[in-house]
Amino acid sequence: MEPFSYTKPAGLNAAIAAGERGGRYIAGGTTMVDLMRETVERPGALVDIAGLSLRDVAVTPGGGLRIGALVSMSDAAADPRVRTTFPVVSQALELSASPQLRNMATIGGNIMQRTRCTYFRDVTAACNKRSPGSGCSALEGINRSHAILGDSDHCVATHLSDVAVAFSALDASVHLFGPQGERSVALRDFLLPPGTTPDREHAISPGELITAVEVPAHPRPLRSGYLKVRDRQSYEFALTSAAVALAIRGGTINAAKVAAGGVGTVPWKLDAVEKFLVGKKPSAQLWADAAARSADGARPLAHNGFKVDLLKRTVERQLRIVGEGR
Give the model confidence (pLDDT) of 203-259 as tens digits.
999 999 999 999 999 999 999 999 999 999 888 999 999 999 999 999 999 999 999
Q: What is the pLDDT of residues 61-89, one digit of tens each?
A: 999 999 999 999 999 999 999 999 999 99
Contact between 228 and 315 under an 8 Å Cβ cutoff? The reply is no
- Pair 69, 194 in one domain: yes
- Give pLDDT, residue 215: 98
Instruction: Sort strands 24-26 and 45-48 into parallel, antiparallel or unpaired.
Output: parallel
Domain count along the chain: 3
- Which letter does DSSP use for residue 106 in this model? B
Edge-to-edge strands of the sheet including 268-269?
222-229, 240-249, 252-261, 268-269
169 close to 269: Cβ distance less than 8 angstroms: yes
Percent of the chain exceeding pLDDT 90 equals: 98
* 14: Cβ contacts below 8 Å, ≥ 6 apart: none
Is the pLDDT at 12 greater than 70, yes or no?
A: yes
Q: Where in the sequence is the domain holding 65, given as residue range(s)?
A: 57-112+161-215
Using the predicted structure, report yes or no on whether residue 1 has a pLDDT greater than 80.
Answer: no
- Residue 281 sits in the same domain as residue 303: yes
CA–CA gap between residue 64 and residue 218 (Å, rounded): 7
Kindly state whether residue 70 falls inside one of the protein's structural domains: yes
Contacting residues for 240 by C-beta, under 8 A, at least 6 apart: 229, 260, 261, 262, 263, 307, 310, 311, 314
Question: What is the dihedral sign for C-alpha 299, 303, 306, 312?
Answer: negative
Whether residue 47 is found in the same domain as residue 173:
no
Is residue 174 domain-shared with residue 250, that is, in the same domain? no
pLDDT above 90 for 326: no
pLDDT of residue 235: 86
> 313 and 266 in one domain?
yes
Q: What is the CATH number of the domain that holds 203?
A: 3.30.465.10
Do residue 186 and residue 71 come from a single domain? yes
Q: What is the mean pLDDT of residues 294-307?
A: 98
Asked if 103 and 244 sit in the same domain, the reply is no
Rg of the chain, C-alpha, whole Å = 19
What average pLDDT does this structure show over 264-292? 98
Indicate whether 87 belongs to any domain: yes
| 266 domain-assigned | yes
Query: Do residue 234 and residue 198 come from a single domain?
Result: no
CA atoms within 13 A on the CB side of 205: 14
Percent with pLDDT over 70 in the chain = 99
pLDDT at 104 over 70: yes
pTM more than 0.95 = yes
Same domain for 209 and 64: yes
Q: Is residue 134 part of a domain?
A: no
Q: Which of 190, 215, 240 is the last residue of a domain?
A: 215
CATH number of the domain residue 2 falls in = 3.30.43.10
Q: Which of 246, 159, 170 is nearest to 213 (CA)?
A: 170
* pLDDT of residue 37 exceeding 70: yes
Averaged pLDDT score across all residues of the chain: 97
Q: Out of 9, 31, 53, pick the residue that ends a domain.
A: 53
Q: Does residue 84 sit in the same domain as residue 45?
A: no
d(CA 287, CA 281): 10
> What is the pLDDT, as a whole number, of residue 210?
98
- CATH number at 232 reads 3.30.390.50
Range 171-200 average pLDDT: 98
Any domain includes 76: yes
Q: What is the pLDDT of residue 236?
A: 93
Q: How far apart are CA 320 and CA 217, in angstroms?
A: 23
Residue 34 falls within a domain, yes or no? yes
Residues 87 and 181 in one domain: yes
Task: Evaluate whether residue 141 is within a structural domain.
Answer: no
Give per-residue pLDDT as tens, 131-168.
Answer: 999 999 999 999 999 999 999 999 999 999 999 999 99
| Residue 73 lies inside a defined structural domain of this protein | yes
User: Do residues 305 and 245 share a domain?
Assistant: yes
Distance (Å, whole) CA 68 – CA 73:
11
What's the whole-number mean pLDDT along residues 305-326? 96
